[in-house]
Chains A and B, each alone.
Chain A
């Protein structure tokens, strides 16, 4: 029972942290352009010195 009292809040907090992270991602526009995000990795940074 005592163990549950510790584990429960931990489990809930971890889950909540994930939810908050998702909301932050949604708010900061990370789902605005999924196709562009996938394509950007292919762009070479030509003008930067090697």
Chain B
């Protein structure tokens, strides 16, 4: 987005820089961009991962993106139509501050009234409290009034309806009391209620904000356009929506592909981590297919576009995920389910109380006062606090043990899971191949030193794994070393041709060590299970969760892992089939947990009741998952499930505490025995009990 600045010739642009995550990155971005000619000021925002740049008009967004790329950061100009949703916390901060300020001051004056202020002093104090409270309630109550009004317009009810009614009626009645020199004013109760509830809302909003940041900027990862080779051989820039199948785009090293296609000329290595979660570069040559969103790493290539715009694999997966996410948003939070029962019950109770007292011969005023007392005392203070406090404490505990909870309702959904589907590569396994120990042991000393020497010349993941495994041996001295992308490393050693190269046919993951004309040695590679995988699966089984493997990998590769873990497995499953499997299990009444990392898991992650992804997952996987675990150990899985169950147990205890409190307080209120003092004590008392109970969750992730 570019906004004209008052200064002529300068503009302000905002760019999303998802990779900026520490003080070092921030200073690198600010200093690096600041040094660029034509840029006058740079301000990085670490919370939203955005950079605001003031620059001369001659620099356009692409120049800024390139400048950031030179610094090592991927960036996207913030498009005018995807203005990021504003923080959910900020609009609540000011009402919370006002409510807290007013509640404290009003409480101070109310305490004097309760301790026996009489006559003109009480009158004066009442008027002062009214002057503070009425504007404060009018301002701080707005989030509740608005939400209640929206619900009423749709002829439904939510937690905010009884809150708004209670607060408004209490304020009106208190004003009447003050004006007629009455004894009781309820301003303190109304304000305290608002303060507690706003505190709960702020905690809830903080969870949701944390969930969004860092994920948001990934949405439009495909490039904005490409250099297209025209019929006359001239290069021209064409924006992504205007790309058509059949066009030839020239992709420079360091650029992202804007469309799917096949390589026409050239060979390069590609970073497909956005799609597969595999961060190791993949070598591709002429005739091979490349996908939009992948990053060209080493050499320029010409690509004939096969699918562009909304037809790319990336767009297709995004569509599947969006549809699934909409399904999930129909999930009703436990607090709202409670409110559906709670609000009508409370309103009926208050109405019956008023009618009852009228029938018993009380004056209309007296009956209304008692009705208000019922509304205030039953206001869902403890209910409003119990869910957010428990979830914030539990997600903090999980965060300390390396599990990030991205969504507030994730813990609720995770707690009911009874069926788990696990992806294989990168989820059940580490996704990092390591060479077979038997094959390494079979190498002679000179072969091992040759293998090490050859492997150390390549950045290929298999070479690096081999070099790591052979570290400590002394490498042989090689001559004429050259690496051919997708083929291997070739060199001369003591006059003999030696090579470390890929086996002729696919199948097993392996490398061949070739020494002269001799029969090549095969070094097989395994993808190891995550540490504690067996223990983690046992714990899941003990928790009553049936687990199985669902993988897009070949049958042989999946079968060996299935044998090692003793799990049932489905192999060669395509992304849409994974999603269909999740849907089928859900239709059978199961609550499904999906654990996966790649783009192919994205739709299934979004469709499942709850989902987790390892920190090494593709961006798509990270975005679709509810929780992300960063450590290697698979124990994060049972740990997250158990923490979620403990959290929901505490939430239910909190609800029970709120019900017990109501059972004690409501008869008093109906009998007309509740004074403002009793209401204040009861309300703060019940809130403190709920918060204290929730704090027990600090050790939930143990």
Instruction: Please list the residues of chain A having a beta carbon within 8 angstroms of any beta carbon in chain B.
Output: 1, 4, 8, 11-12, 15-16, 18-19, 22-23, 26, 31-36, 39-44, 47
Q: How far is the CB of A42 from chain B (nearest CB, A)?
A: 4
Contact A33 B46 (CB under 8 A): yes
Contact B105 A43 (CB under 8 A): no
Knowing A26-B93, A26-B94, A31-B93 are in contact, say whether A36-B44 is a contact too (CB < 8 A): yes
Q: How far is the CB of A28 from chain B (nearest CB, A)?
A: 13
Instruction: Please list the residues of chain B having a beta carbon within 8 angstroms of any beta carbon in chain A.
Output: 22-24, 26-27, 31, 44-48, 90, 93-94, 97-98, 101, 104-105, 108, 121, 128, 132
Q: Please tell me which one of the listed residues A16, A36, A42 contacts residue B47 in the complex, with CB atoms under 8 A apart.
A: A36
Q: How far is the CB of A39 from chain B (nearest CB, A)?
A: 4
Contact A22 B97 (CB under 8 A): yes
Knowing A33-B45, A36-B47, A42-B23 are in contact, say whether A8-B93 is a contact too (CB < 8 A): no
Contact B90 A31 (CB under 8 A): yes
Contact B23 A40 (CB under 8 A): yes
Q: How far is the CB of A47 from chain B (nearest CB, A)?
A: 8
Q: How far is the CB of B100 from chain A (nearest CB, A)?
A: 9
A12 to B536, CA, bound (A): 58
A12 to B525, CA, bound (A): 73
- Residues of B within 8 Å of A41, CB to CB, are 23
Closest 6 CB pairs of A and B: A36-B46, A39-B23, A42-B23, A43-B27, A35-B46, A33-B45
Known: A32-B47, A33-B46, A36-B26. 7 other contacts (CB 8 A): A4-B121, A11-B108, A12-B132, A15-B104, A26-B90, A33-B45, A36-B45
Q: What residue of chain B has the Cβ atom nearest to residue A9's Cβ?
A: B128
Contact B26 A43 (CB under 8 A): yes
Contact A19 B98 (CB under 8 A): yes
Q: Please tell me which one of the listed residues B90, B98, B101, B128 contacts residue A8 in the complex, with CB atoms under 8 A apart.
A: B128
Contact A40 B121 (CB under 8 A): no
Q: Please tell me which one of the listed residues B44, B47, B101 contacts residue A19 in the complex, with CB atoms under 8 A apart.
A: B101
Q: What residue of chain B has the Cβ atom nearest to residue A18's Cβ?
A: B101
Q: How far is the CB of B404 from chain A (nearest CB, A)?
A: 15
- Residues of B within 8 Å of A47, CB to CB, are 31
Q: Please tell me which one of the listed residues B22, B105, B108 contacts residue A39 in the complex, with CB atoms under 8 A apart.
A: B22
A15 to B132, CA, bound (A): 11
Q: Please tell me which one of the listed residues B31, B105, B121 contacts residue A12 in the complex, with CB atoms under 8 A apart.
A: B105
Contact B97 A35 (CB under 8 A): no
Contact B46 A39 (CB under 8 A): yes
A39 to B27, CA, bound (A): 10
A26 to B465, CA, bound (A): 52
A31 to B86, CA, bound (A): 13
- Residues of A within 8 Å of B105, CB to CB, are 11-12, 15
Knowing A11-B108, A23-B94 are in contact, say whether A35-B47 is a contact too (CB < 8 A): yes
Q: How far is the CB of A3 from chain B (nearest CB, A)?
A: 12
Q: How far is the CB of A16 from chain B (nearest CB, A)?
A: 8
- Residues of B within 8 Å of A26, CB to CB, are 90, 93-94, 97
Between A and B, 21 residue pairs with Cβ closer than 8 Å are: A1-B121, A4-B121, A12-B105, A12-B132, A15-B105, A18-B101, A19-B98, A23-B94, A23-B97, A26-B90, A31-B90, A33-B46, A35-B47, A36-B45, A39-B23, A39-B46, A42-B23, A42-B24, A43-B23, A43-B24, A44-B27
Q: What residue of chain B has the Cβ atom nearest to residue A27's Cβ?
A: B94
A18 to B102, CA, bound (A): 12
